[in-house]
Amino acid sequence: MRISLFGKSLLLLGLICAVPASHAQTGKKADSSVQAAPSVSAKELQALHVLNRLGYGPSPGDIDRVLQKGVEAYIQQQLHPESLQMSAALSERLMAVPDIHSTDAALYADYGPPQRKAAAGDQAKIKAVTQRQNQVADAAREAHLLRAVYSPAQLQETMVDFWFNHFNVFAGKGQETKIWTGNFERDAIRPHVFGRFRDLLGATAKHPAMLNYLDNQKSTSERIAKNGKKLGGLNENYAREVMELHTLGVDDGYTQADVTALARIFTGWGYDPKRLVDGVDPAFFFNSKKHDENEKKFLGNTFAAGGGEEEGERALDLLAAHPATTRHLSYKIAQYFVADSPPPQLVEKLAKRWRETGGDVGKVLDTLFKSPEFWSADAVGKKFKTPWQYLVSSLRATGLPMVTNVKPLLGMLRQNGQTLYGCTTPDGYKNTQAEWLNSDALILRLNFANALGSGNLPLWKSLPTAAASSMSADDNAGMMAMIEKQPELTASKARAADPFLMQAALGNAFSQNTLDAWAIARPQLRAGLILGSPEFMRR
């Protein structure tokens, strides 16, 4: 792997942080303006912990705001974000992002298969249609990133991340999924992140992005035509994943016979392309002609013949209320917010609350945040950030103005293996240290940290076509070389982060090793050193 000049410099500084302070000597006199961090109070650590776990980390001034409001009051406000007002700048920016407010039918008619069909045989037109579809997906990614970085409802944004990953949809699966993935987040995930799990489960099951991604749109009962030819066919993909991933967990309480029965139950659940072209919303459509009307047995329950669409609703009721589902989801929530291997007693506590409330996610989270396990010293600052969490927390920590060009940021995620809406498998991205902590990943993060901290990322102007193409390459060296060779991209809009502001924003919660290395570093490298520090890699 090639490492840029920026990357080599910051990698060396990162290594300095990793050795004992007594060995971090370079013969260079420490800058007298750099002061050792004051001791961090228990209250400040509490505030930092909730900012790191409920959200994507502190922005400048956030710790003081939490302390002024009170940690418990802050948590309750995050659990009930109705009173939190999005800034006018963010609202205006989101309104300007194209197509993120369009209906499923409008996106299908304007960008979907009808447009590709109309371009049949004309390669130039087909290419143009594909580019427009990519632009729709990129607009959704931009909106997702902007909300995560700048929304005051930070817990809402982390729960959108959690639930989207749980009900993962890969945007690269066909034309329809590509244009509908942003709407899947907007309409199926976002409204239900603190509500009843059953409502969330039903919304995802009926959304056309999921119906297309896991092939239930193709699933029909098998019939024999008069000429003896088999018509239709069962597709078990969604039935299997809704049990294995979305509800019960792997091999917990179901058999292959249940998978087949559930697939039969969901036959007819899909969307009608003709209705979409005519502008009919919502996209979900139950086609009784495709439904298997015969009797079925699922999870020990008999579904009488002729149940129609309500069979699917009943099956979702059973899955949402199943004890295996409460255990599976309680484990995943505890893993996301507390520890890679969450304490069994915490998982059981959450499962109990899940059963008591009928799957009320907000009340389960309230129990989690009040638990001693959440506040344990074994939990605080121990979760290793995913590339997505690292990116968003880095932007928040700098306190820089709202970015206007997200291409370098989306490129960073691709290079680090966590493309937004880019997980090909239905199990989503992992959120554990074992998945993301390795030497190559750290080098990529350190390169990014130095580029962002020193103001060498073109985040405040549109990239030229050639540069945009370079940014989309899955090659960190390409990104850094583009920055180094084309300084005109950043000269007029470069914004270096203020390391003193960042140090205060992060609660001065750094080891002596990091502080010593920071003190002897050149000023333009200090912000990157904070973002590349071992402490900042964790939350």
Nearest to 473 by CA among 408, 377, 388: 408
The pLDDT of residue 252:
84
Q: Give the relative orientation of helices 309-321 and 323-337 as an angle to the nearest 10 degrees.
A: 60
Torsion of CA 326, 328, 333, 338, to 10 degrees: 120
Separation of alpha carbons 376 and 460, rounded Å: 40
User: What is the amino acid identity at position 44?
Assistant: E
The pLDDT of residue 84:
96
The pLDDT of residue 38:
55
The pLDDT of residue 529:
95
The pLDDT of residue 226:
54
From residue 120, alpha-carbon distances to 27, 108, 124 in Å are 69, 17, 10
SS3 state at 384: strand
166 within 8 A of 181, measured Cβ to Cβ: no
The pLDDT of residue 31:
44
Helix residue ranges, H only, 237-360: 237-241, 256-265, 273-277, 309-321, 323-337, 344-357
Q: Cβ atoms within 10 A of the Cβ of 32, count?
A: 7
The pLDDT of residue 519:
87
List the chain pLDDT tens, one digit each, 539 residues.
444 444 444 444 444 444 333 333 333 444 433 344 556 899 999 999 999 999 999 999 999 999 999 999 999 999 999 999 999 999 999 999 999 999 999 999 999 999 999 998 899 999 999 999 999 999 999 999 999 999 999 999 999 999 999 999 999 999 999 999 999 999 999 999 999 999 999 999 999 999 999 999 999 997 655 555 666 799 999 999 999 999 999 988 899 999 999 999 999 999 999 999 999 999 999 999 999 999 999 999 999 999 999 999 999 999 999 999 999 999 999 999 999 999 999 999 999 999 999 999 999 999 999 999 999 999 999 999 999 999 999 999 999 999 999 999 999 999 999 999 999 999 999 999 999 999 999 999 999 999 999 999 999 875 343 333 333 333 344 444 444 444 433 433 458 999 999 999 999 999 999 989 988 999 999 999 999 999 999 99
Helix residue ranges, H only, 217-272: 237-241, 256-265
Task: Domain ranges for the chain, please list them.
Answer: 5-82+384-531, 97-193
The pLDDT of residue 227:
58
